[in-house]
Amino acid sequence: MSIKIAFLFPGQGSQAVGMGRELAERFPVAAQTFAEADEALGFPLSRLCFEGPEDGLRLTENTQPAIMTVSVAAARVLAEQGIAPALAAGHSLGEWSAHVTAGTFSFTDAVRSVKARGRAMQLAVPAGQGAMAAILSLDPTLVAEACQEAAAETGLTVQAANLNSPGQTVISGALAAVEKASALAKAKGARRAVMLPVSAPFHCALMQPAQEEIARVLAALTLADPRIPVAANVTGGLVTTAAAASDALIHQVTGAVKWVDCVNALKQAGANLFIEVGPGKVLCGLLRQIDSELKSLNVEDAASLEKTLAELRS
């Protein structure tokens, strides 16, 4: 059977101090990627990735370009090794990394844009007013029901934000509404409802000001049709044109990340090997929850790169 590779790119939450350093030390193309990011942003993002401090890396406007830079560096190292994807997807921020790899826009444009995206998302809701929670082991339709009931009861925004796997749905909105929806979800049979340590309520209607800013940012960029199909978070389908890519990236700011649908779209398009490209292994874990038959690898450092190359060449 021929191998058809899909690259998966992680989103916010996968960051860790030290990420990307080993790749930059060992591979000139990775070092060059960090140098490009530093120049594009006008500050040493590479040092923040390699050395921290952690609280600086955790700032949304830094986290997003940092994760993208590590992901693109890893993808470029794989390209030098002759490993190229036939399809791609990214979780939230990761959708931008997927489009860099697909050639939809340049890395320099993208890294500046996601810094602006992170800043806009941070500013959209005053600190402490929004929240997100992971609802575990409850059917997504019942999670949606809990959100609707909580919104009606509180008069505040709460909605499903990340449909990560059949047993994990993240909700987002105003703090009181998220707390109420979490309690209702537990009453409906959820195993747990876990408040997440996030700085803003991403992927809900409260992000509308950030969505408008992203629309302005994308309008100023030159986009090309992606060279490979990229799954869109907001629809769960594959995009193949510049216009569809831009529309998807704008609307995902307030829309839910339909990750289960994205994975299924890649699978239906023939993907039979998934490589998580960038820091962490969150998406490999979700992949197992979505379909335990799917084969996944990851590349975030020298050891994981060697392991993935060995698997591919065996």
Q: How many angstroms separate the CA atoms of 135 and 131, rounded?
A: 13
Q: Is 172 a catalytic residue?
A: no
Kindly give, in sequence order, each residue whose CB lies less than 8 Å from that of residue 171, ignoring residues fewer than 6 positions away. Answer: 132, 133, 135, 143, 146, 147, 158, 159, 160, 161, 178, 181, 182, 185
Peptide bond into 28 cis (omega under 30): no
- Supply 184's token pair: 């209702």
**CB burial readout 62-72, b (16+ within 10 A) else e:** bbbbbbbbbbb
Active site residue: 14, 71, 172, 203, which one? 203
Q: Is 199 a catalytic residue?
A: no
Active site residue: 14, 46, 71, 92, which one? 92
Phi, psi of 257 (to 5 degrees): -85, 105
Strand, helix or coil for residue 47: helix
Q: What's at 10, amino acid-wise?
A: P
The strand pairing partners of 194, in sequence order, are 134
Residues recognised as catalytic: 92, 203
